[in-house]
Amino acid sequence: MNLKDNLINALTKNESEITPAGSFPATCMTELMEKDGVRFPTGHTDAEQMAKIASSAYRYVGLESMVLPFDLGFEADAIGCDVALTDHDNSSSITHAPFDSVEDFEMPDDYIHNARFPALIEATGILQEEYGDQDIPIVGAMSGPLTVLGQCLGIEGILKKLSKDYYVVEDALDAINDGLIEQIELYNELGMDAIVLYEPNGTPELVAPEIYEQLLIPFHEDLTAATDIPIVLHICGDTNAQIANMMSAGYDGISIADDVDINYAKKVREDIGADTAICGNISTTDTLFMKTPKEVEEDVTEALEKGVDVLLPSCMIAPLSPSQNIRAIVETRNKFFENK
């Protein structure tokens, strides 16, 4: 089975030889990193270590994707923010931005050449050289415009500004989107097989569905129009109120958390006449982190029985999750189709 074709077909045709079992949110597991002798923060900046981390879940537990980069601060770093990279997991935090307000926000002309982009480009080449004959999909991760702006200036302040001076925020998002389109074009040029775009600040807990529709969908439509490869939108948490919006911007797939029932997402898809692939939604904080392989098997089987298009963890896998639980995702998928 060609894993690249299988994933692409699942995302673009809603059909596949077998339901892909991968991870679009990055997989950076401590157990696997220790086996490879790699660690953070070096794994964020060194191409060799970045490639090892991205491929580790495929090599050790069989997940059918290699995702990079690993943190939500990647874009803010390239914009010029000071980013603190932790040494215990793949998280990062913004410690200083080169502008004081939304009104001052500017994108650098050399955005896709800054910060960790050169390491990302080199790491992608390493993965293609080492795994090209194995047809394993390389997935380029990136953040969406509202998430990037929130990383740079704090989402609380952005939302307050949005209620008072909508067009200032819109102008900043427009500038960011121009850079993100360049990033998408770069991912296409590098020969990546798919893109996952994280927009956690698009959760209905922060942005009402009507604001999402008015403000974010036009920017997301520009992003999806810029790519020649499949692109998936991931928003964390309870996105039930946002599912229709997520399916309305041209994404080939949406990645949902375990807060959203797959059957509900399928019903929304049918109601609005979309053909968006539904990806997810095995709990990372509960099932994969805390439970047993047998309990993972139960959740995976339920997702497959409901007809999930791409089988994924619901969000980024907790670094200390046991590898046997992640391996159980693939093993259960295999057993499910053997018995059909």
Q: For position 48, what pLDDT does the model report?
A: 98
Give which of 146, 126, 139, 64 is closest to 333, Cα–Cα: 64
Q: For position 88, what pLDDT does the model report?
A: 80
How far CA 251 is from CA of 13, 46, 229, 279, in Å, comes to 13, 31, 11, 12
Give which of 89, 113, 95, 94 is closest to 41, Cα–Cα: 89
Sorted by sequence, the CB contacts under 8 Å of residue 213 that are 6+ apart come out as 245, 248
Q: Are 155 and 23 in contact (CB under 8 A)?
A: no
Q: What is the pTM of this model?
A: 0.97
Q: The tokens 């996952």 sit on which residue?
A: 196
How far CA 130 is from CA of 52, 184, 192, 327, in Å, comes to 10, 23, 14, 22
Cis peptide bond N-terminal to 322, omega within 30? no
The whole-angstrom separation of Cα 204 and Cα 212 is 8
Q: The tokens 């390239």 sit on which residue?
A: 78
Q: What's the CATH code of the domain at 182? A: 3.20.20.210
Q: For position 51, what pLDDT does the model report?
A: 98
- Helix 145-153 vs helix 155-164: crossing angle, to nearest 10: 110
Cis peptide bond N-terminal to 108, omega within 30? no
The whole-angstrom separation of Cα 130 and Cα 162 is 46
Domain count, the chain: 1
What residue ranges of the chain have pLDDT lower than 50? Answer: none
Element (H, E) at 178: helix 166-189
The whole-angstrom separation of Cα 70 and Cα 142 is 9
Please, what sign has the CA dihedral across residues 221, 223, 225, 229?
negative
Q: For position 89, what pLDDT does the model report?
A: 85
Q: For position 13, what pLDDT does the model report?
A: 86
The whole-angstrom separation of Cα 146 and Cα 316 is 19
The whole-angstrom separation of Cα 159 and Cα 166 is 9
Helical residues (DSSP H) of 190-255, grouped into ranges = 209-211, 217-225, 243-246
Q: Read off the tokens for 41.
A: 């923060």
Structural domain span for residue 228: 3-338
Q: For position 288, what pLDDT does the model report?
A: 96
